[in-house]
Amino acid sequence: MDEPGTGRLETFSDGVFAIAATLLVLEFSVTSGRDLGHELLHIWPAYLAYVTSFLTIGIIWMNHHHTVSFIGRVDRTFLFVNNLLLLTVAFLPFPTGLVGKNLRGPGEEAAALAYAGTLVMMAILHQVWWQYARRNRRLIADAAPDSALSAVDRAYWPGVPMYATVFGVAFFSPLAAVVVTFAIAAFYLPSAALFDR
Amino acid sequence: MDEPGTGRLETFSDGVFAIAATLLVLEFSVTSGRDLGHELLHIWPAYLAYVTSFLTIGIIWMNHHHTVSFIGRVDRTFLFVNNLLLLTVAFLPFPTGLVGKNLRGPGEEAAALAYAGTLVMMAILHQVWWQYARRNRRLIADAAPDSALSAVDRAYWPGVPMYATVFGVAFFSPLAAVVVTFAIAAFYLPSAALFDR
Amino acid sequence: MDEPGTGRLETFSDGVFAIAATLLVLEFSVTSGRDLGHELLHIWPAYLAYVTSFLTIGIIWMNHHHTVSFIGRVDRTFLFVNNLLLLTVAFLPFPTGLVGKNLRGPGEEAAALAYAGTLVMMAILHQVWWQYARRNRRLIADAAPDSALSAVDRAYWPGVPMYATVFGVAFFSPLAAVVVTFAIAAFYLPSAALFDR
Amino acid sequence: MDEPGTGRLETFSDGVFAIAATLLVLEFSVTSGRDLGHELLHIWPAYLAYVTSFLTIGIIWMNHHHTVSFIGRVDRTFLFVNNLLLLTVAFLPFPTGLVGKNLRGPGEEAAALAYAGTLVMMAILHQVWWQYARRNRRLIADAAPDSALSAVDRAYWPGVPMYATVFGVAFFSPLAAVVVTFAIAAFYLPSAALFDR
């Protein structure tokens, strides 16, 4: 019991990732009636925000899951940081809804900053989570080769600067900030992901 | 780690399917009060939409799960297509709610088109998902016999034309489009399903 | 692949049971403000409905799970009936919310009938689900002794008459119908449950 | 079948914990528009309540999961108490939302009392749950050493007095009650947790 494995942590984390992604749909809302067709086209920012957040959560989940496979034991601090990371992921439906409802409207800057800010926080916590486990192979499984750890390092390091840039872009163009976030989820992250050599 | 298995993909997918099906109930809404009994009968389109979507998700989930059993490894592209497929499944509660609230009202055509359009997208992505894995047995497990793959082919191909027809029907009769979708979920899909010889 | 096991069915079912139970909390709603304390006491029907439905789902889930352990294979029909059963379970948050908002108000009879009607449907489907598997040991695992099957029979048969009685009571006293349902979940079901000799 | 293991109980419990934590985000609500930025700062009580409840659920989940590893069999009573415990955990999003919407407003005392009261109930049920299993090693696995049971005792006993104190504080200062609950989740619970010697 001194060095519990990662099973417990994975069950809870998997649940939170899948639920957070699926709750994103609850942020859509339209008034019913004659203009429904028009309104369904008008809410394109909500679709953009939904797709961006869903893909982002899916990829973060896969990175999380893959990285955990190199971790051989967990401690109190690691579990706590993992909890903070999940807290940020589970929070994402709220700023996603803000972007969906406010983009191209008067509140778009605040919405985009809240969205990008959440992603920055998530990237920082994911980095802390990994570095805590990896430093001096603190929690790394004996069987994990150093080359695999370096691959994870390379995949994780761009996260924080990338989302910090999105945060900066949001001051100038909220729409551009969301589009860049979408592009990261659709083009950059899949290619930088770890599942594939 | 070069050819990761399907375990990770299945956990996330199972979660999204079950959650999306269970979230459908949140689309019901009535005003409380003296007329509640009347209102509960009046919202029959919401029941029809609920049952149709729940059965559809249940069957797609089972097909997905069954097909995955023939897949021996995953790659980056496959994981990304799987994510897009889940994104469409998780989106279904929104058009289901639109149908429930607008059928027999002025917005019914837009609602039915949104609903059928989502199903077409889902069918296309499920087909792409399967064909990507199956082409030249790219991701197929060595133990899977060709005859099993052909059975999956036969079960999957009608999806796109079937839902495209529903989309076409929605222009003429939104109600008919939903009823046909219900009939597919209740009668066609179970018989075409793969779980049983 | 001819006689698939119950693993797939259990994953999806477990998810739906746990999610439906947890979604019940979303049916609570109060207006904020100075009278919050008074209002929190005033919504006691919502607490009663919540506790009743949560305990009922918990016990049905455990019976489902236990019974599945005697089932050795599934077929198309069984999967379809299981899907219908889950559809009813996932629907429960809606009538639970109706009871919570309408009990002691003008819509209470309609709300209680909708609630009891859902439970009757659930009991019927659970009975059909079991009888289909059990008749001539159609889907029963070879290792399951007849005595265990008879124990399941005894535990399942009171379900339909019991909830049909609740439905009848709802015509005379909606409150009594909900209280009886609560008593069944809190006192009868646990003692009739299967987990314990 | 006389002494069923804990697998079934764990699946359902894990689901409820993860879903309850993830549903917390649905309690956020703002009006869109020009003042969105201001409003996002103004709802700080909602962030405080969200973080407090998310961390609390995460830690209770981990304690539950860890303690279950010492339990070798379950009986009817234990399953029922576990169900009551989950009912309380699944209820938490409601009082969390009350605190988020009412803190620093006229309903803050009622909101904080509802929140603290739910936590007291949860702590009592978690204690009953453990003591029922532990008394005379009723449900304890043979392999579990007495020293491990004593460690669980020490980790569990402060729960009830701690949250009872929070309840008392809520009469004098609702804000202080929530801040103390946050401090318990962020500082005390992690250090008292069981995962680490």
Chain B residues touching C20 at Cβ < 8 A = 22, 25
**What are the pLDDT digits (tens) for B141-194?**
999 999 989 989 988 888 999 999 999 999 999 999 999 999 998 887 666 656
ipTM given for this complex = 0.91
pLDDT of residue A2: 36
Residue D67 contacts residue D130 (beta carbons within 8 Å) = yes
Angle at D190 between CA D184 and CA D191, to 5 degrees: 100
Mean pLDDT of B18-26: 95
% residues pLDDT > 70 (chain A) = 93
pLDDT of residue A192: 62
Nearest C-alpha in B relative to A27: B94
Q: How far off is chain A from B194, nearest CA to CA, in Å?
A: 26
Chain D residues touching A102 at Cβ < 8 A = 32-33, 36
Q: Which residues of chain D have pLDDT under 70?
A: 1-5, 189-197
- Give the global pTM: 0.93
% residues pLDDT > 90 (chain B) = 67
- SS3 assignment for chain D: CCCCCCHHHHHHHHHHHHHHHHHHHHHCCCCCCCCHHHHHHHCHHHHHHHHHHHHHHHHHHHHHHHHHCCECCCCHHHHHHHHHHHHHHHHCHHHHHHHHHHCCCCCHHHHHHHHHHHHHHHHHHHHHHHHHHHHHHCCECCCCCHHHHHHHHHHHCCHHHHHHHHHHHHHHCHHHHHHHHHHHHHHHHHHHCCCCC
DSSP-assigned states of every residue in B102-155: HTTSTTHHHHHHHHHHHHHHHHHHHHHHHHHHHGGGSSB-TTS-HHHHHHHHHH
| CB-defined contacts A:B, below 8 A | 102
Which subunits have 3 or more CB–CB pairs within 8 Å of chain C? B, D
Is A183 within 8 Å of chain B by CB? no
**CA distance linking residue B111 with residue B113, whole number of Å:** 5
Decide: helix, strand or coil at residue A132. Answer: helix
Is C25 within 8 Å of chain D by CB? yes
- Indicate the pLDDT class of residue C176, thresholds 50, 70 and 90: very high
Residue C83 contacts residue C119 (beta carbons within 8 Å) = no
Nearest C-alpha in C relative to D92: C25
Q: Tell me the range of B3-17, B71-85, C78-92 where mean pLDDT is highest.
A: C78-92
Between positions 32 and 71 of D, the ones with CB within 8 A of C are none
Burial of D47 from C-beta contacts in 10 A (0-12 / 13-18 / 19+): middle
Burial of C12 from C-beta contacts in 10 A (0-12 / 13-18 / 19+): buried
Q: How much is the mean pLDDT over chain D?
A: 89
Is D197–A87 a contact, with Cβ atoms under 8 angstroms apart? no
Q: Phi first, then psi: what are they for C71, rounded to 5°?
A: -95, 130
Is A137 within 8 Å of chain B by CB? no
**What are the pLDDT digits (tens) for C25-57?**
999 988 877 899 999 999 999 999 999 999 999
Neighbours of B150 (CB within 10 A): 11
pLDDT of residue C4: 57
**What are the pLDDT digits (tens) for C110-136?**
999 999 999 999 999 999 999 999 999
Is C111 within 8 Å of chain B by CB? yes
pLDDT of residue B187: 80
Is B36–C98 a contact, with Cβ atoms under 8 angstroms apart? yes
pLDDT of residue C1: 36
Which subunits have 3 or more CB–CB pairs within 8 Å of chain B? A, C
Structure tokens at A196: 């594939």
Decide: helix, strand or coil at residue B100. Answer: helix
Is B20 within 8 Å of chain A by CB? yes
Mean pLDDT of B98-110: 93
Closest partner residue to B25 (CB to CB) among C4, C74, C91 is: C91
**What are the pLDDT digits (tens) for B110-127?**
999 999 999 999 999 999
Structure tokens at D166: 């929070």
Is C69–D101 a contact, with Cβ atoms under 8 angstroms apart? no
- Indicate the pLDDT class of residue C71, thresholds 50, 70 and 90: very high
Which subunits have 3 or more CB–CB pairs within 8 Å of chain D? A, C
Is B21–C16 a contact, with Cβ atoms under 8 angstroms apart? yes
The pLDDT of residue C82 is above 50: yes
pLDDT of residue B2: 36
Q: How much is the mean pLDDT over chain C?
A: 89
Is A79 within 8 Å of chain D by CB? yes
Mean pLDDT per 10-residue interval, chain A, length 197 residues: 62 90 93 87 94 93 87 88 95 96 93 97 96 94 91 89 96 96 84 56
pLDDT of residue D197: 45
Is A16–D21 a contact, with Cβ atoms under 8 angstroms apart? yes
Structure tokens at A115: 């969205």
- What type of residue is C60? I
